[in-house]
Structure formats: structure tokens, C-alpha cells
Amino acid sequence: MQHVVVIGAGQAGASCVAKLRSGGFEGKITLIGAEPCPPYQRPPLSKGYLLGEMSQERLLLRPEAFYADQGITLKTDCRVTAIDPEARVLSTSDGAVAYDELVLATGSTPRRLPAAIGGALEGVFTVRDLADVDAMAPRFVKGAKVLIVGGGYIGLEAAAVAAKLGLEVTLVEMADRILQRVAAPETSDYFRALHESHGVRLREGVGLERLLGEGHVTGARLSDGTEIAADFVITGVGIEPDIALAASARVEIDNGIKVDAQGRTNLPGIWAAGDCTSFPYRGGRIRLESVPNAIDQAEVVAENILGAGKDYVAKPWFWSDQYDVKLQIAGLNAGYDRVVTRRGAGSASFWYYRGETLLAVDAANDPRGYMVGKRLIEAGKSPDPALVADPQADLKALLRA
């Protein structure tokens, strides 16, 4: 009887094992996770869960009983320390585990501030897993001063929660503007205005020199010499693919675990899916950090373990919730040379073009704009920018053009 082992009990790992079983696999399945709880959703951690609007039970991707009911061995609080690809055996904190097929769904890890500038002080947090959020949640009390380092989506989502709960929020972004790495100036301007309207103090174009405090963080000194008092600090300065285990087993690495279009690594019997992977895309290679990619790629890997021989075709989309604004993003904006803005009553969308080709859409409280944009991009259609910008134009008509 074949044994498929999946390392990483996040969205990709959970999706892979469920797809294996629903796809008719009758062998043994083992899902190994380092955290002490069953697989859960991560996006709500920095939103609904931190706000206290979502319980831990509601975070779970599936009821814990699902795994036993499906004959899936779920090993939580278990760390894999080594892979022997020749013997097809894992070394884990719970003993050796033999496998026939192995899926690496190790996800990503947050970048941390160096200890040399105060990153190891008590009261400095990242937002990556349940333990992170549980540790910082008691500090979210009205009037507390929080410094957020990093103006990407994680930092902005944490700022929104803190502001809604009545904290004094300062966000520092060393780039010229928030969201500079991932969005156009128009999208940055929209979210800057949103956060400032909720009392968040944004410091753009200023770096962090060091955190201050003896043992516990008390503030920060910025690159312009100013000092900011803080009761605690949240860092959102990006993530890295978790490749250490794979690299130690001589799995090929290229901006993540390198896989082919079907999810195979360079080693026989080893596959990978989710945030940790880079894969072929439109003549190049990309790595996507998103829930939809984790689910879709993991399910394709499961199908291919069962012999489907199916290439994974990514359809990138993302989202972020801040205050009462839901941002939905379709496509990838790399290489854009202009942005067309469409505004409605309480909504806005920003359409990225390269020449006459539509690449991506950022839609803020504009679900119709998002859905139409997503369908256009997936169909390879590029509407007239003048029609997109006209708030009176029927977006759905663009699909028929």
C-alpha cells in the first residue's frame, strides 16, 4: 500500500490530503504540522481573529474529526528534521516516517528584525501564525501605543485592527510610499487616505534605525533621528519561502523550491506546492504568496500523484480587508506602464495596462470591477481604457466586446 506524506499543515498541505482522498487514493496519508493545532486559515489572523470577531474553532479549515474520518493521520506539534530521499524516510520529532511519495508544503516564514537593532526585545511581534497573534492580542487595549514596521498588506491590516480598537498607531515604511512593492501609486494613495482618516500616523520614506528599550521595547529611533514611543511593535517586512528542509535534502532551489509545471521537484518522489514553491509561468518562473495559489497548486499535485499528468495554470488573485474596505486583486501587475482609475459611489478600481494589454486590477469595494477584470484577464481580453474609466459604462458589456 502506498504512503503519501505531506509536510506542512497549512492551506496547501490540508488541500493536498483532502484532494488525494476525494480523488480516490486508497493508500496511507500522513499530514505533518509543526503547530499544535489542526490546519487553519491564516488570513483572518490579522483581521477577524485579532479583532475578536472570529473564534479559534472557526479558523479551522475542517473539523478535526475530518482527518480521522477520512483515514488521514494528522501529526500535529511534530517537526521534520531531515529527509533521506534515497531511503525515502523522514526524521521527525516523533520518530522516523517512511514514505513513497512526499509533498513539501512548508509555506513561508516572516522576515524578522535583526537582534542588533532590537529585534529580539520583548514586545516585538510578527503576524504569521496563531501563536504570534495570541501572544500580541492582550496588548491591543485602547490607548496603547503600537509601532508597525512595514507598509505592505500585513502591516496595513494590523494597523487597521489597532486603529479600530482605539490604539495609537504609527506605521513606518522605509520606501517612498506604502504598498510600493506590490501596487501602483494610485492604490497607495487610496489606502494612505483611508488610514489617515482613521487616525493612523504614516511615516513614509523613513527607515528604522533601531528599536529602543532594555529587555522590553519602549520605542524606536528612525533614520531621520526622530524617536517614537511604543508599548509594542509589529513587524511586517515580508516573508521568505521555507526552503531549509528541502535544501538540506538537495532539492533544487530557485526563489523557493523549484518545481516543474506538474509540481515535481528534481528528486524522484518529492513534490511541492504553495508559498514555498517557484513554478513555470508564461515563459518564466514565479512564486505566489496567496491562499488561492496554495489550494489550486496543491490540488493539482494531488491529482498528479494519482497519475493525471496535469499542468498547473495559475490564475493569480488576492485580497485584503482594511476597515470597511475589501480590496480584491486580479492578475499580476509586473511590467505595467499606466493605470486607469474607475471610481464609483464608495468604490474605486485601478486597472493596470502594459501598452494596450490589461494585466491586473485592484478593486476597492468594487466586486463587479474585480469579477469583470478577473474574467477579462483570464480570457486574454483588454478593454478600451476610456471605457474602463467611464463610470457610466457598463462593465459587463466589456466581456461581450
Which tens digits make up the pLDDT trace of 366-376?
A: 999 999 999 99
> Which cell goes with 361?
486590477
Residues 248, 342, single domain; the answer is no
When pLDDT is averaged across residues 375-390 and rounded to a whole number, the result is 94
pLDDT band, residue 259 (cuts 50/70/90): very high
pLDDT value at residue 47: 86
pLDDT value at residue 46: 85
- Single residue among 235, 259, 287 that ends a domain in this structure: 235
By 3-state DSSP, what share of the chain in percent is helix, strand and coil, each rounded to 5?
A: 30, 30, 40
Residues 340, 376, single domain; the answer is yes
Residues 75, 178, single domain; the answer is no
pLDDT band, residue 399 (cuts 50/70/90): confident
pLDDT band, residue 52 (cuts 50/70/90): confident
- Number of domains composing the chain: 3
pLDDT value at residue 297: 98
Residue 401 above 80 pLDDT?
no
When pLDDT is averaged across residues 199-216 and rounded to a whole number, the result is 97
Residue 362 above 70 pLDDT?
yes
When pLDDT is averaged across residues 254-281 and rounded to a whole number, the result is 98
Q: What single string gives the DSSP state of each residue in 212-246?
A: E-SSB--EEEETTS-EEE-SEEEE---EEE--HHH
pLDDT band, residue 28 (cuts 50/70/90): very high
pLDDT value at residue 395: 86
pLDDT band, residue 383 (cuts 50/70/90): very high
- Single residue among 208, 235, 262 that ends a domain in this structure: 235
Residue 38 above 90 pLDDT?
yes
Alpha-carbon span 166 to 303, nearest angstrom: 48
pLDDT value at residue 396: 86
Contact yes or no for 297/277 (Cβ under 8 A): yes
Largest CA-CA distance found in the chain, in angstroms, rounded:
65
β-bridge pairing 208-212 and 219-222: antiparallel
Residues 329, 250, single domain; the answer is no
Q: What's the CATH code of the domain at 382?
A: 3.30.390.30
Contact yes or no for 179/187 (Cβ under 8 A): yes
Question: CB atoms < 10 A from the CB of 56, how many?
Answer: 12
Does residue 104 sit within a domain?
yes
pTM: 0.95
Does residue 311 sit within a domain?
no
Residues 7, 102, single domain; the answer is yes
pLDDT band, residue 400 (cuts 50/70/90): confident
- Single residue among 219, 235, 251 that ends a domain in this structure: 235
Residues 137, 230, single domain; the answer is yes
Residue 235 above 80 pLDDT?
yes
Nearest of 372, 353, 354 to residue 363 by alpha carbon: 372
Q: What's the CATH code of the domain at 274?
A: 3.50.50.60
pLDDT value at residue 398: 85
Q: What is the mean pLDDT of the chain?
A: 96
Helix crossing, 11-22 with 291-305: angle to 10°? 40
When pLDDT is averaged across residues 276-296 and rounded to a whole number, the result is 96
Residues 258, 163, single domain; the answer is no
Question: CB atoms < 10 A from the CB of 99, how many?
Answer: 22
Does residue 35 sit within a domain?
yes
pLDDT value at residue 1: 64
Residues 98, 50, single domain; the answer is yes
Give the domain range for residue 231.
112-235
Residues 243, 103, single domain; the answer is yes
pLDDT band, residue 62 (cuts 50/70/90): very high
Give the lowest-confidence range in 71-80, 233-242, 389-398: 389-398
Residues 34, 181, single domain; the answer is no
Residues 200, 290, single domain; the answer is no
pLDDT band, residue 108 (cuts 50/70/90): very high
Residues 164, 54, single domain; the answer is no
Does residue 313 sit within a domain?
no
Does residue 51 sit within a domain?
yes
